[in-house]
Structure 1
Amino acid sequence: MAGNDQTPRHVVIAGAGAVGLSTAWFLQEHGVRVTVVDRDGVAAGSSWGNAGYLAPAFSIPLPEPSVLRYGLRSLLDRNAPLYVPARVDPQLWAFLARFAAHCNMRSWRRSMQPFVPMNNECLDAFDALTAGGVEAPTKAAPITAGFEKAEQVADLRREFDLIRESGQDVRVVDSSVAEAGVPQLSSHIEAVLRIEGQRYVDPGEFVRSLARSVEARGGEIRSGFTVDEVTREQGRTVVRSGDERLTADSVVLATGAWLSSLAKPLGVRTAVRAGRGYSFTVPTEEPVPGPIYLPAVRVACTPYQGGLRVAGTMEFRSPDAKLYPERIAAIERSAKPLLRGVSWEDRRDDWVGGRPVTPDGLPLIGATDMPGAYVAGGHGMWGLTLGPLTGQLLSEQIVTGKQPDQLRPFNPLR
């Protein structure tokens, strides 16, 4: 076991999603006892309903010029992939103003730099979990991007060129629809790009398998425990839920879109808001060979339990708001002409979840102002892709007391 005299023996992790459970698993690698708590249970949030992409080629800061241009055009349009409801919410509008201020190429290039080493290492962290007993496999496959008009290819190519300029290798192959070997692409698709070196997974099953591994190695997972407050008392960390108290050496807050309410009292000033995504599952006539991306309508599709999971939209509402069926209908309308052999009438598993978004597009990973209290969140759409590596690096920081170089740009006290 690596560490020092201050190495914690027991850590409470709030949040039983990909980030929280990965942190717990890698802490166990250092011999630390872990207790994972969650208000709902394992993989109850975005770790269940996301598209399942393990895609370092797409793991980039969300604020960038095209998002701002698109957002201004589609603002308040209920059918648009990016939607902000028209209501009086000063905190939301202040957040969006800060987000918009980062939607320029200078900020994007600066924010992209710390993503590069994370993206280069993130799949290795999945391999470490698999080698250590996490049973749900990751599956290697290119992501096939389909375009209704050939001229639309240029936008995605430009994005990949910028990523390469930042120092990250992205392998992109031109393809025809026939060569792509994806029977779900309809006759409306004129052009195809294949993004090589990516993977996908059944996200819910992967996170549940991760939880089973944590428990098999002696960890405790408790559902129905809503963290109300974190305090430091007599050199120990106290986590409260109602009248119940858990005492440990340290705590990690990995509560996704709900992070800010707990982290702000600990000195974390950067806000986290819910950029809610929707998904559903539909049967297909033929097996789906790999992930499909429809950039023009911002829809991501993945092989899922013998069918196709279809995911999309970015909706800024409370993470606890209800599911709005019109958002599901909008995704279906946009994807339907571009896909074939899909039984849309047999749609199931309608879902909405809050992806944790920061105004500068950078996650919050590391120590807070309170001794023994850490946060891990704000990954936006890439919590699954970067979750295991986040847990691996943060566990190293907790155990050794030294901040890994990769985490410095993600300092939650920035």
Structure 2
Amino acid sequence: MSRTIVVGAGMVGLATAWHLQERGVEVTVIDRVGVGAGSSWGNAGWLTPGKTIPLADTSLWTYGPRALLDPDAALHVPFRVDPSLWSFLLRFAAHGTNRAWDRTMADLTPIDKIALECFDELLDGGVESWTREGPFVIGFKEKGQSKAFLHEVEGVVRHGQEVPFEQLENPRELAPVLSDAVQLAYRLDGQRFFEPAPFVEALGHAVVARGAELLTGYEVTDVSSTRKPVVTMSNGRRIEADSVVIATGAWMPKLARKLGVRTRVQAGRGYSFTVATEQPQEHPVYLPFQRIACTPYQGRFRIAGTMEFRRPDEPFQPRRVQAIIEQSRELFTGIDLDDRQDEWVGSRPVTPDGLPLVGATRAPNVYVAGGHGMWGIVLGPATGKLLAEQITTGRIAPEIRPFDPLR
């Protein structure tokens, strides 16, 4: 029996491990903290292929200066001397054109189309958790704020996805948490949501129950490959395997750069917290103009937002949570924004061209899976399935061919 070491126990790494097991591979999973400890834990839990789109668009050219000058902007870049960050930002901004958006959307659409069925495959295969249909409520203070959202939906549909949506007569019909300041709302269907931390934990339990070895509390400091790949851990232990998958999110460059993966991966940090609601909120809510995404979570309401380009291990920045709060006060009702729980920051791995990095490195039998930006949760199961196929058969599925990590 062949053996694969998966470095990283988030959604992408565990889904890859699960599908390798489906193909008869013995798996060891290593994570420096534990299952779902990175950006898999506190995100909004949106399974929305219809919103899995390029991050860079033409709005960067008007919004970009505010990201530098306003520390409370939804997209924030700290003004500092950091050549690697500025190099990333230049490449990222270069993709803020309609032509680049269409090119990236065309490359994302095939995997978007299979994303939800890959969740069903995990659930049908014994992962004891759930996903739930929307609808999602998309709210705006006035009609002018909706133009960018409607343009995005049109682009996704133009590239071949079905994205059912319609205007709501009463914005509070499905979202009692919305205040009277929200004058326009749509319902978006065909999408799902879930509770990310419990789902990833259930996936981790399933992988272990099927025979995987899970090693936590140790960082992988090196991956090399000559005759066979070898992983070196922070305690000095070296483990040999037939193949290795690096799925460490925003920390991927530490291991992958020397293996030929030159595409920059920048941490795009998101923040979230939960609040209680006076009335139960059963459906996700999205405020695109303020870039705030909200989801029911374990009897509370998770509010998530911001994109902050910092190093992945930098300290939690309370001001970013405060920025979300100030944006939210006018738009929500019946919630106590001063009584928050589960405050969190997670580092999402963003690439300049908006495409993931999935496939073989220059080192024999060493692969990477990451760089999904905000979409690692929704695309994780599909990524794991298709990468497991590549590792065991050599076939590169068309859905991940554009994600070549050596591009």
Q: Is the 8 A contact 1:180 1:192 kept in 2?
A: no
SS in 2 for 1:110: helix
Instruction: Tell me, yes or no, if structure 1 residue 156 matches structure 2 residue 149.
Output: yes
Structure 2 equivalent of residue 259 of structure 1? 252
Instruction: Tell me, yes or no, if structure 1 residue 96 matches structure 2 residue 89.
Output: yes
Structure 2 equivalent of residue 44 of structure 1? 37
Measured after TM superposition, the shift of residue 224 of structure 1 is: 1.1
1: distance between equivalents of 2:253 and 2:326?
34
Structure 1 equivalent of residue 106 of structure 2? 113
Structure 2 equivalent of residue 205 of structure 1? 198
For 1:111-260, list aligned pairs within 5 A.
Answer: 111-178=104-171, 180-233=173-226, 235-242=227-234, 243-260=236-253
1: distance between equivalents of 2:44 and 2:143?
25
Q: Can you list the C-alpha shifts for 1:71-129, whole angstroms capped at 9, x where unaligned?
A: 22332311100111111000000110011111111111111101111111100000000
1:338 to 331, 336, 349: 331
Measured after TM superposition, the shift of residue 181 of structure 1 is: 1.9
Q: Is the 8 A contact 1:56 1:120 kept in 2?
A: yes
Structure 2 equivalent of residue 5 of structure 1? none
For 1:19-98, list aligned pairs within 5 A.
Answer: 19-98=12-91
1: distance between equivalents of 2:345 and 2:302?
13
Moved over 3 A (4+): none
SS in 1 for 2:364: coil
2: distance between equivalents of 1:189 and 1:158?
20
Root-mean-square deviation (Å): 1.1
Q: Is the 8 A contact 1:116 1:166 kept in 2?
A: yes
Normalised to the residue count of structure 2, the TM-score between the two structures is 0.98
Q: What letter corresponds to residue 212 of structure 1 in structure 2?
A: H
2: distance between equivalents of 1:210 and 1:133?
9
Measured after TM superposition, the shift of residue 70 of structure 1 is: 1.3
1: distance between equivalents of 2:257 and 2:91?
17
Q: What letter corresponds to residue 402 of structure 1 in structure 2?
A: R
1:314 to 307, 321, 343: 307
Question: Compared with structure 1, are the counterparts of its residues 178 and 295 closer, same or farther at alpha carbon in structure 2 (3 Å cutoff)?
Answer: closer
Structure 2 equivalent of residue 367 of structure 1? 360
SS in 1 for 2:218: coil
2: distance between equivalents of 1:407 and 1:69?
32
1: distance between equivalents of 2:173 and 2:157?
23
Q: Is the 8 A contact 1:177 1:189 kept in 2?
A: no
Structure 2 equivalent of residue 3 of structure 1? none
Normalised to the residue count of structure 1, the TM-score between the two structures is 0.96
2: distance between equivalents of 1:231 and 1:178?
55
Identical-residue share of aligned pairs (%): 51
Q: Is the 8 A contact 1:367 1:411 kept in 2?
A: yes
Q: Is the 8 A contact 1:144 1:180 kept in 2?
A: no
Greater percentage in helix: 1
Q: What letter corresponds to residue 411 of structure 1 in structure 2?
A: D
Q: Is the 8 A contact 1:180 1:194 kept in 2?
A: no
Q: What letter corresponds to residue 176 of structure 1 in structure 2?
A: E
